[in-house]
Structure 1
Amino acid sequence: MLSKASSARFSHHKGSWFGGIRDAVDQLVRSSPSRFAILVFTALILLFTVLFSLPIASADRTITPLHDALFTAVSVICVTGLATVDMATHWSAFGNILVFIGVNVGGIGVLTLASIMGLVISRRIGLRTKLMAASDSNPSRIHAGPVNEGQAIRLGEVGSLLLTVAVSAFVIEVAVAALLFPRMLSAGIDAGQALWHSIYYAAMAFTNTGFNPNELGIGRFAEDFWFLGALMVGVFLGSLGFPVIYAFARGWRKRRVWSLHVKLTLVTTIALMFAGMVIYIILEFDNPKTFGSLDAGHTIFQSLFLSVMSRSGGFATIEISDLHGSSLLVTDMLMFIGGGSASTAGGIKVTTLAILFLAAFAEARGKAQMEAFGRRIPSDILRLSVSVVLWGATTVAVSTILILHISQAPLEHVLFDVISAFATCGLSTGLTGDLPPSGVYVLSATMFMGRVGTVTLAAALAASQSRQLFKRPEERPIVG
């Protein structure tokens, strides 16, 4: 047995070892919360890559090739929904459980996830942890520190935000699963399998992932309005973002006290949803491979379903490659926009699009400031929005060029799958499953860039933000 002195030295050494790790993490969080979040996300992807490579994770008990395991890990943690293997048949029960756990962990969000990891280490919510979680609900905090105008989530409410994240994810997934379960039973599916598939589909809907647990996918429910409607509800709520859900939780009837972020997110999301539906009706009503053989009611519903899923949901009742080229381009745009900030959806986010349009309207009307819902929007938000779009477009362009060179596939199919990867949507023309390993790695990097977020990545790469104390002479270049 160890003496008291030895036990004390051992305990002190153990405490110092843990304390050293905690201090190192604390130092990293202090220097760059977003960089710490990226490291956490990367570590999760590497962990799941190893787990997916294990023989126990595959149905035939063989080792999954590295590029397939890595791609699946990135797609799961980044809640994308793209796959290089048949998700319904390739993975074992253990592999499917990994997928389920991974999408729920990844759906929490990069910075919120890092905040929770920080809570596990420090066992308390400190100021720096609050700043990290707040930055997930308001990325401008990363860009320029705390801002003066009212935000969706204040620092004092971060503890409630983290609780809302966990509770809302659980409640919504359980509610969607409860809606799906009886429909699966009525379709003749075994009770045990129906329960698992209901829970699985609910998680995939809320996290905006779009994986299917069975070989037929949602094809057998393609005309079931109840089933598809439940999926749309889950996808819609997941794409709004936790700040919006938090505002609803505090009082959905108190619209007057909603923040500008909540109002912009709701208005832009609903406008895009119905605009996409109308455009799909116009473009696809005469396409016999998609909606051409449907009556008016089914055409409207299926167009609405495709519009909702195109912005990040990832489910589809039709073959995406059967869409007209014009519809593919519209879907590209919807996917690139994505959902709300701090949500399970990807893309450049609807508020980014709203800011760009507000800036254009202000310029057209000769106003120096952007305004919406009786509030003034500072110009640095416009610069941040432009940076997000430019960085996203650059990522998509580079990835498209590389995939085109590697696969020699048609441009419209390559562009579609690349945007789907960047926007973590999950819809595919079928190209992803046919890519060689080099193309799989490129698309994996594209998914990672899209999920981590352009703002977060830019903040992580910037070691510090310098403050300029002087102004140079002004000169206006010719634009347009």
Structure 2
Amino acid sequence: MKTLIHPARAVALGFLAAIMAGVFLLMLPAARSAGVPAPLTVALFTSVSAVCVTGMAIVDTGSYWSGFGQAVIMFLFQLGGFGLMTAATLLGLMVNRSPRLRTRMMTQTETRLLGLGDISSVAKIVFKVAVLCQLLLFAVLTLRLHWGHGMDWRAAAWNGLFHAASSFNNAGFSTHADGMVRYAGDALVLVPVMLAIVIGGIGFPVLHDLRYRWRDPRHWSLHTKLTLTGSLILLLGGFIAIVALEWNNPHSLGPLSLFGKLLNGMFMSVSARTAGFHTVDIGALTPETWAVHYILMFIGGGSGGTAGGVKVGTIAILALLVIAEAKGHTDTEAFGRRVGASAQRQAITVLVLGSLIVAFGTVILLRLTHFPTDQVIFEVIAAFGSTGLSTGITAELPAAGQLLLAVLMFIGRVGTITLATSLVLGERRMPYRYPEEHPIVG
């Protein structure tokens, strides 16, 4: 009798297989521009960053990789962002309208839904939204790059397609050496990109809920309400903090017009939630703004989407728990619903383990490098949160440091999914309970 692979383990193995395939393809001579070296470290780091939709790079994507290499990178972050198991279910639906339970459970691990009956429906929503959003952004960017930035149609189409896919998948890869800096004053580029980042990162369970219940917010699930409310608070809070801290910084928002400051402030707030694009020099931001980025990158986006981090829902549950405890309430409540005790334990576990991973990663990277602590912390959280932003030290790190970041990217993208699903699927009720006692807290 065949032993079924645990869905969480299957997702991890699927991501690992995609990374190895990416390394093989990127090591091919056709993947690099003529005359550039072919170290295994570069191919491995790039493949991990692409599959884990992080966007960190140790070489310039546009000049180091050939057109074929850039296509490979785009395919990898499409695969990683879209979800390997979601793709598997879609393929199954094309052949058989009733996907097997095992496949549905694997897809459940990636989409983070608890109801197996919703998997096929969510998979269809994922496919429709992903294709429609990327095609619309591709068209908008292509037209704008041609008419507004003087690119010929071929270059505009390729750059538009690459950035559309990178935006929706929250991948952060750009074909430009300066990222999105050249578009800092162009709202017709930045606004559509921001919309794609938010849609891709909000989480497919939320999109599924909105698709069928958008007319009646009262019947939205608690997950949808917490994710949307938390995301709005983080986006607006990050925007206000960044604009206030960088308003007079001559190396970032200082030289821009009022509209430019507001536009780029919002773009930084959106991008810091795991997209990884930048329109200003991240290394020139104030330490206080870096600290704001720590928070936004660590939290990330919604569960079951293309975003990374410990997720908005996790932090929302913990915030509600703190509020309930401060008020002396025995139940954690929101929007007329009670948050289950198991969800609270899972949120605490994800936050604690995520914090420990960041702490250990920071200590190790500090031992391997001579860079200041604040820059190292930024790099570690950006890797773990699948954000890809950098203060400019990624390419200067030793090989061991870059390998550490690759491990953090993999853990950040796959580990939180695996952990959360393992907690859900591994939960069991014990036939006995020990006597209760209350240790002293605080």
TM-score by structure 1 length?
0.87
Residues in 1 aligned to 2:273 and 2:192: alpha-carbon distance in whole angstroms: 17
Partner of 2:4: 28
Q: Looking at CA atoms only, which structure, 1 or 2, has the larger radius of gyration?
A: 1
Structure 1 residues 305 and 464: alpha-carbon distance in aligned structure 2, compared to 1, 3 A threshold: closer
Partner of 1:14: none
Residues in 2 aligned to 1:188 and 1:458: alpha-carbon distance in whole angstroms: 47
Q: Give 1:454 deviation, angstroms.
A: 2.2
Kindly indicate whether residue 129 of structure 2 is the aligned counterpart of residue 168 of structure 1.
yes
RMSD between superposed Cα atoms in Å: 2.2
Residues in 1 aligned to 2:318 and 2:300: alpha-carbon distance in whole angstroms: 15
Partner of 1:6: none
Secondary structure of the structure 2 residue equivalent to 1:88? helix
Offset from partner CA, 1:312-358 (integer Å, 9 cap, x none) = 11111111011110110110110000000001000000011100110
Structure 1 residues 415 and 248: alpha-carbon distance in aligned structure 2, compared to 1, 3 A threshold: same
Residues in 2 aligned to 1:262 and 1:451: alpha-carbon distance in whole angstroms: 21
Partner of 1:221: 183
Residues in 2 aligned to 1:333 and 1:442: alpha-carbon distance in whole angstroms: 21
Structure 1 residues 461 and 431: alpha-carbon distance in aligned structure 2, compared to 1, 3 A threshold: farther
Residues in 1 aligned to 2:409 and 2:388: alpha-carbon distance in whole angstroms: 10
2:71 maps to which of 82, 97, 104: 97
Q: Give 1:121 deviation, angstroms.
A: 10
Residues in 2 aligned to 1:306 and 1:443: alpha-carbon distance in whole angstroms: 22
Residues in 2 aligned to 1:286 and 1:181: alpha-carbon distance in whole angstroms: 34
Structure 1 residues 60 and 121: alpha-carbon distance in aligned structure 2, compared to 1, 3 A threshold: farther
1:134 maps to which of 73, 92, 108: 108
Kindly indicate whether residue 21 of structure 2 is the aligned counterpart of residue 59 of structure 1.
no
1:184 maps to which of 114, 123, 145: 145
Partner of 2:274: 312
Secondary structure of the structure 2 residue equivalent to 1:277? helix
Q: Give 1:217 deviation, angstroms.
A: 3.0
Residues in 1 aligned to 2:394 and 2:316: alpha-carbon distance in whole angstroms: 31
Secondary structure of the structure 2 residue equivalent to 1:475? coil
2:4 maps to a residue whose letter is L
Offset from partner CA, 1:3-41 (integer Å, 9 cap, x none) = xxxxxxxxxxxxxxxxxxxx85xx333xx1111111111
Partner of 1:395: 357
1:253 maps to which of 211, 215, 220: 215
Residues in 2 aligned to 1:263 and 1:177: alpha-carbon distance in whole angstroms: 30
Structure 1 residues 460 and 378: alpha-carbon distance in aligned structure 2, compared to 1, 3 A threshold: closer
Aligned residues: 441
Residues in 1 aligned to 2:425 and 2:293: alpha-carbon distance in whole angstroms: 36
User: In the alignment, is the contact (CA less than 8 A) between 1:28 and 1:36 conserved in 2?
Assistant: no
Q: Give 1:134 deviation, angstroms.
A: 3.0
User: In the alignment, is the contact (CA less than 8 A) between 2:310 and 2:385 conserved in 1?
Assistant: yes
2:111 maps to a residue whose letter is S
Structure 1 residues 316 and 287: alpha-carbon distance in aligned structure 2, compared to 1, 3 A threshold: same
Partner of 2:331: 369
Residues in 2 aligned to 1:274 and 1:167: alpha-carbon distance in whole angstroms: 29
Q: Give 1:210 deviation, angstroms.
A: 1.2
Q: What pairs up with 1:340-419 in 2 under 5 angstroms?
A: 340-419=302-381
Q: Give 1:247 deviation, angstroms.
A: 2.1
Residues in 2 aligned to 1:43 and 1:415: alpha-carbon distance in whole angstroms: 29
Partner of 1:280: 242
1:106 maps to a residue whose letter is G
Partner of 1:72: 46
1:321 maps to a residue whose letter is G
Residues in 2 aligned to 1:427 and 1:468: alpha-carbon distance in whole angstroms: 44
2:22 maps to a residue whose letter is F
Q: Give 1:155 deviation, angstroms.
A: 2.3
2:17 maps to which of 34, 40, 43: 43
Residues in 1 aligned to 2:55 and 2:386: alpha-carbon distance in whole angstroms: 7
Offset from partner CA, 1:381-400 (integer Å, 9 cap, x none) = 11100100111111111111
1:293 maps to a residue whose letter is P
2:389 maps to which of 427, 431, 437: 427
Partner of 1:9: none
Q: Give 1:301 deviation, angstroms.
A: 1.6
1:28 maps to a residue whose letter is L
1:469 maps to a residue whose letter is P
User: In the alignment, is the contact (CA less than 8 A) between 2:317 and 2:347 conserved in 1?
Assistant: yes
Structure 1 residues 461 and 477: alpha-carbon distance in aligned structure 2, compared to 1, 3 A threshold: closer
Kindly indicate whether residue 410 of structure 2 is the aligned counterpart of residue 448 of structure 1.
yes
Structure 1 residues 447 and 60: alpha-carbon distance in aligned structure 2, compared to 1, 3 A threshold: same
Partner of 1:88: 62
Secondary structure of the structure 2 residue equivalent to 1:80? coil
User: In the alignment, is the contact (CA less than 8 A) between 2:321 and 2:344 conserved in 1?
Assistant: yes
Residues in 2 aligned to 1:128 and 1:315: alpha-carbon distance in whole angstroms: 37
Kindly indicate whether residue 99 of structure 2 is the aligned counterpart of residue 125 of structure 1.
yes
Residues in 1 aligned to 2:42 and 2:30: alpha-carbon distance in whole angstroms: 15
Q: Give 1:223 deviation, angstroms.
A: 0.3
1:102 maps to a residue whose letter is L
Residues in 2 aligned to 1:304 and 1:210: alpha-carbon distance in whole angstroms: 16
Percent sequence identity over matched residues? 39
Secondary structure of the structure 1 residue equivalent to 2:305? coil
Query: What are the ranges of 5 or more consecutive residues in structure 2 without an aligned counterpart?
Result: none
Offset from partner CA, 1:20-64 (integer Å, 9 cap, x none) = xxx85xx333xx111111111111111111111111111126562
Secondary structure of the structure 1 residue equivalent to 2:383? helix
